[in-house]
Structure 1
Amino acid sequence: MTRKRSTLAPSGRFSTLDEWLAWLETLHPKKIDFSLDRVRSVLASLELNEPPYRVITVGGTNGKGSCIAIMESIYRSAGYSVGAFTSPHLWRFNERLRFDGREATDAELIELFEIIDAGRGSVSLSYFEFSAVAAIVLFAREQVDVALLEVGMGGRLDAVNAIDADAALIVNIDIDHREWLGEDRDSIGFEKAGIMRAGRPVIIGDANPPASLLSAIDEKRANGILYGRDFDYLSSGRALSWVRAGRPPVELPAPRFGGTIQAANAAVCAATVDELQAVLPVGHEALVEGLRRASAPGRSQRHAIDGVEWIFDVAHNPAAAACLRRELDCLPRAGHTVAVFSAMRDKDIVSVLGQFTAEVEQWFVAPVDSERTATPESLRDVLHSLGARSTEAHGEIAAACLAARACVQPGDRVLVFGSFYTVGPAMAALGLYCAARSNG
C-alpha cells in the first residue's frame, strides 16, 4: 500500500495541546463507550482502515505496557522504525504516542488532532478513541515498519481493535474493570479474546488461561501460541532460558527494569517476535540487545533519596499487587516501611491493600487527579478495616509524599503505588520527573 499523508485541511480549533486535551474530555458524552463503528468511520475517512505497516496489538490485564516497551526495544535494535501507543501516561500525554523511541511533540499532536477533527465530520470520539486514532495516523505519517498498540480496556470493542492486527499478544487474564468486563476470568477472557484474527497468530502468556480464551482460538480460527505448550522459559537472576517446542533452549537476558515479573513478559515477547519472523525478521543479537535496553518507568522502579529507598509501582489491581508484594519480599529487609497510596474507586481496593497492611507501618493516602478517584476518607476507612497501624489523609499526592519523606530516616523505605496517576505525580513531587523519553 502506498504511504501518504492526509490531505484534509487542519481544523485549527485550538492552539495548545492542553486546550485540545481539555476539549477531548468533553467531546463524547461517555468517558467509556465500547463501540468500533465510530473509530472505523473516522479511519475510513482518513483512508487508514488498513494501515501501511505491520500491527501487533497487546491485550491482557497486566503487563501490556511492559511488553510493548520490550518489543519496541527489540524491533528498534533490529533496525526497524517502530511506533508505540500506550496508556495511560505518567507525566505527559505525549508519552502515549512514540515513534523510534521519541515521544510525539506538542506541535505534532496538535497537527494530528486537527487532521482527525477535520476528517471525523459529525462523529464524536472519546478521549481514548481520539488518542488511538492519532497514533494510527502518526505512524502512517512517519512511515513506521511496525506499530505496537496497547488495548485500553477489554479488547473486543476497544478502539485499537478497529485495526486487523498481524499478531495479537494477550499477556494474562485476571480480575479488573468488573463493571465493564465481567465478574470472573471467563467473562474477562471472552472480551480480551476479541483481538484475535482468523489465520493470524495470538500469543497467550497466561499459564492457566480461562476456557473462554481457549475456545475463542478455535472459534475464530486463530493460530494460538500458548505458554507452557508451544513455548516455555526458566529464569535465574538476570538470565532467561527460552525454548520453543521442538527447538533447543535459547539463552537470553532478562530485562533490567521492573523486577522478576519481566522475565515472563520477555518470554511472551520473544514468542511474539519469533512468530513474526517471516515478515519482521529479528536476529539473535538484536533480540538480546533489545531485551537488555528495554525500559518502562513506574514498574518496581527504585530510587534512593537521602538514604531512604523509594519504590514506585503502578500496580492497581490484586494480581499486580501480588507481583509487587513478591518483589518486596525478595528485597533486603528495610528498617521501617511506609506507603503512599491512591487508586480509582472502581478498583478492588480491599484486595490490593490487604496484601500490604502487615508490612506497612504507616500509610499516607490522597486523591488522584481523576473524577474516578477514591477519596482519602474512603481509603482510610478501608485501611482501618484491614487493621492498618497508622494512616494520614492528604489533599494531594505531592503532600502525601512530603509527609512520608518527613517521617522516614536512612535505612527505611517508602512504597508508592496504586495507579499511574499516583506514581507520576509522586515522582514529580520528589524531583524524579522524567524528561521527554528517547531510547536512543
Structure 2
Amino acid sequence: MRFNSLPQWLAWQEKLHFTEIDPGLDRIRAVWQQMYADKKLPFRVVTVAGTNGKGSSVALLASILSAAGYRTACYTSPHLLRYNERIVVDGQPATDLQICEAFDRIDTARGDVSLSYFEFATLAAADIFCRQDIDIAILEVGMGGRLDAVNLFDADIALITPIGLDHTVWLGDTRELIGIEKAGIMRAQHPVVCSESSPPSTVIEIAHQLAAPAYIAAKDFTYQSQSDVWHWQNKQYQFDALPHPALLGCYQFQNSAAVLQVISLLKDSGMTKITETAIRNGLQQVRLAGRFQKIDGPVTHIFDVTHNQQGAENLAKLLREISCEGKTHAVIAMLRDKDSRAVFDALLPVIDNWFIGGLTGDRGQSAEDLAAGLQGKIANDRVHLQDTVEQAYNTAAEYAVTGDRILIFGSFHTVEAIMRHIPEFINEPLSVSA
C-alpha cells in the first residue's frame, strides 16, 4: 500500500492531478473498467443533482429507506469534519481502513491515469458499496451532472433539486444552460423527478428526448403544509397528516415532496417494504449537520452551509419565521468563485451586524474582498472585518448578548472552521422542527 493512513492518502491526492476541478468521465471510466470491467453496479441507484437541497434530499431518502429496513448507502460531498462522512452505509461512515484499502485498489488499477481528489472519492465509494451487500445507493453529484464523476454510474431514478446560478464558469450563466448539465444524470426510459414546479425547459426537453418519464412538482405530485402536519399525494398514493420533516425550513417540504415521489417509484419497482410507517419514521428521524443546524443557549448559534443566492433567500425566509428577541449577527466567509453580492442582498434585511472573515486556500477569499459586496449598502459600523473566520466569530461572540443569535454561514469551510474552533458544538444534537 502506498500510504498507511487516510490523511497521507488525501494529502497525496490533493496534489496528484494538475487541477482540482477537471470535468469528464474518460479517466474515471478507464480505471473503473480495470477494477470491475462493467460499470453496472449490483444495487439500485438514485442519483441526485441540483443547486440547492441535494444534501437534504439524500438525507431524507436514506432515512426513509433505512426505516423501511433496506441496507442503504450514501455518497455525498463535501464533508464537514471528517472525510469519512462522504461514504456512509446504514448511517455509519466508512472506516479509515476501508477507505485506505479502496484507495489502494484504485491506485493499483489506475496505472498512469491521473485522477482528481473527487474521482478517487467517487471510485472509493462505489468500490466500498460493492463490497457491502447493499440494496440501494444514493449518489450526490458534486458539480453539474453530465460530466461529474458520479455520472459514470447509471441512475435507476434521477432526482433534480432546485436549480439556481452556481459554478457558472463551469456550468453556464443561465438556468437553461445549467439545466442541460444537471439533466445529464438522466438515463433513457428511466424516471426523473424534479423538485421544482418550473424546472428549466432544457431539463424537460432532454427527458423527452430520452423517453425518460418526468415527474414534476405541483403537476405530478403535490403537497399541502399546515402548522403541525402536511399532506402529500400523486396518482397512486396519498399520505395524510404526515409529521413535519425533522429538518428546519419551509423549503424542506419541497425537498420532502420530491423525495416521496422517488419513494413511490421505488415502491412501484418492487421495494414493497416501504410502508407509510417507514415514511413517517424516516421523516421524523432524519438528521443533517450544517443545514440550519440550530443550537440553543443564552446566545443561539445557527450553522448553515448556504453559499448562493437561492440558498440565501431560503435562509432569510427561515430567519424571519423563527423569532429572535435580540439581534442577529452573521459570521460569514466565502470562496471567491461564489456570487457573494447576491447572497448579501438576500440577507441584508434580516442581519443586524456582519462579521466577515477570510478563508485560506486556493479558492479562499479575503475579508476585504468579500466585504466589498456590502460597500455602500449599510453603515460601516455594522461591518467588522477580521483576517480569519475564527477571529470574526470571536468578535461576534463579544458583541452578542443574551437573547441574540449568531449565524455562521457561507461555505462548508466556514462551518467546519467554527465547529472546530468551538468543539463543544460538534456533538450537539440537531434541532428538530416543532
**For this structure pair, what is the TM-score category when the shorter chain's length is used for normalisation?**
over 0.9
C-alpha deviation, 1:250, in angstroms: 3.4
Q: C-alpha deviations, 1:321-364, integer Å up to 9, x for none?
A: 00000000111133122110011111110010112223323221
Q: C-alpha deviations, 1:12-49, integer Å up to 9, x for none?
A: 11111111111111111121111111111111111151
**Alignment correspondent of 1:7:** none
C-alpha deviation, 1:174, in angstroms: 1.1
Task: Quote the Cα distance in structure 1 between the aligned partners of 2:379 and 2:197.
Answer: 33
The reply on whether 1:121 has 2:111 as its aligned counterpart is: yes
**Alignment correspondent of 1:20:** 9
Task: Quote the Cα distance in structure 1 between the aligned partners of 2:175 and 2:342.
Answer: 16
The reply on whether 1:203 has 2:177 as its aligned counterpart is: no
C-alpha deviation, 1:259, in angstroms: 1.9
Task: Quote the Cα distance in structure 2 between the aligned partners of 1:240 and 1:220.
Answer: 34
Once the two structures are superposed, the pairs formed by residues 130-169 of structure 1 within 5 Å of their partners are 130-169=120-159
CA contact (8 A) 1:358 1:388 kept: no
Match of 1:109 among 99, 117, 132: 99
Task: Quote the Cα distance in structure 2 between the aligned partners of 1:217 and 1:355.
Answer: 32
Match of 1:411 among 383, 403, 411: 403
The reply on whether 1:301 has 2:293 as its aligned counterpart is: yes
Partner letter of residue 33 of structure 2?
A
Q: C-alpha deviations, 1:177-196, integer Å up to 9, x for none?
A: 11011011000001100001
Report the secondary structure of 1:191's partner residue: helix
Partner letter of residue 86 of structure 2?
R
Report the secondary structure of 2:347's partner residue: coil
**Alignment correspondent of 2:40:** 50
**Alignment correspondent of 1:5:** none
Taking structure 2 as the reference length, what is the TM-score of the superposition?
0.94
Q: C-alpha deviations, 1:354-404, integer Å up to 9, x for none?
A: 122233232211123432111111112222233254222223222221221
Partner letter of residue 31 of structure 1?
E
C-alpha deviation, 1:232, in angstroms: 0.7
Match of 1:393 among 381, 385, 388: 385
Report the secondary structure of 2:349's partner residue: coil
Report the secondary structure of 1:339's partner residue: strand
**Alignment correspondent of 1:4:** none
The reply on whether 1:430 has 2:422 as its aligned counterpart is: yes
Q: In structure 2, do the counterparts of structure 1 residues 300 and 436 end up closer, same or farther at CA, with 3 Å as the change threshold? A: closer
Report the secondary structure of 1:297's partner residue: coil
The reply on whether 1:284 has 2:276 as its aligned counterpart is: yes
**Alignment correspondent of 1:6:** none
**Alignment correspondent of 2:21:** 32
Report the secondary structure of 1:370's partner residue: coil
Report the secondary structure of 1:29's partner residue: coil
Partner letter of residue 405 of structure 2?
R
Task: Quote the Cα distance in structure 2 between the aligned partners of 1:257 and 1:299.
Answer: 8
Partner letter of residue 209 of structure 2?
E
The reply on whether 1:256 has 2:277 as its aligned counterpart is: no
Q: C-alpha deviations, 1:200-237, integer Å up to 9, x for none?
A: 11111111111101101111111111111110111123
Task: Quote the Cα distance in structure 1 between the aligned partners of 2:237 and 2:348.
Answer: 45
CA contact (8 A) 1:103 1:436 kept: no
C-alpha deviation, 1:436, in angstroms: 12
Q: C-alpha deviations, 1:248-297, integer Å up to 9, x for none?
A: 45332221123221111111111001111123221111111111101111
CA contact (8 A) 2:335 2:411 kept: yes
Once the two structures are superposed, the pairs formed by residues 263-274 of structure 1 within 5 Å of their partners are 263-274=253-264
Of 23-32 and 368-377, more deviation after overlay is shown by: 368-377
C-alpha deviation, 1:107, in angstroms: 1.6
Give the unaligned 5+ runs of structure 2: 430-434
Task: Quote the Cα distance in structure 2 between the aligned partners of 1:435 and 1:321.
Answer: 25
**Alignment correspondent of 2:432:** none
| Percent identity over paired residues | 40
CA contact (8 A) 1:85 1:98 kept: yes
Give the unaligned 5+ runs of structure 1: 1-11
Partner letter of residue 265 of structure 2?
E
Task: Quote the Cα distance in structure 2 between the aligned partners of 1:260 and 1:266.
Answer: 10
**Alignment correspondent of 1:3:** none
Q: C-alpha deviations, 1:37-66, integer Å up to 9, x for none?
A: 111111111115111111110001101011
C-alpha deviation, 1:435, in angstroms: 5.4
Partner letter of residue 400 of structure 1?
A
Report the secondary structure of 2:303's partner residue: strand
C-alpha deviation, 1:310, in angstroms: 1.3
CA contact (8 A) 2:367 2:386 kept: yes
Report the secondary structure of 1:287's partner residue: helix
Number of residue pairs aligned between Structure 1 and Structure 2: 426
Task: Quote the Cα distance in structure 2 between the aligned partners of 1:26 and 1:160.
Answer: 21
Report the secondary structure of 1:385's partner residue: coil
Task: Quote the Cα distance in structure 2 between the aligned partners of 1:299 and 1:71.
Answer: 16
CA contact (8 A) 2:28 2:149 kept: yes
The reply on whether 1:382 has 2:344 as its aligned counterpart is: no
Task: Quote the Cα distance in structure 1 between the aligned partners of 2:116 and 2:61.
Answer: 27
CA contact (8 A) 1:202 1:223 kept: yes
Partner letter of residue 120 of structure 2?
F
The reply on whether 1:235 has 2:225 as its aligned counterpart is: yes
Q: C-alpha deviations, 1:100-132, integer Å up to 9, x for none?
A: 100112122111111111111111111111111
Task: Quote the Cα distance in structure 2 between the aligned partners of 1:433 and 1:414.
Answer: 13
Taking structure 1 as the reference length, what is the TM-score of the superposition?
0.93
Task: Quote the Cα distance in structure 2 between the aligned partners of 1:419 and 1:77.
Answer: 31
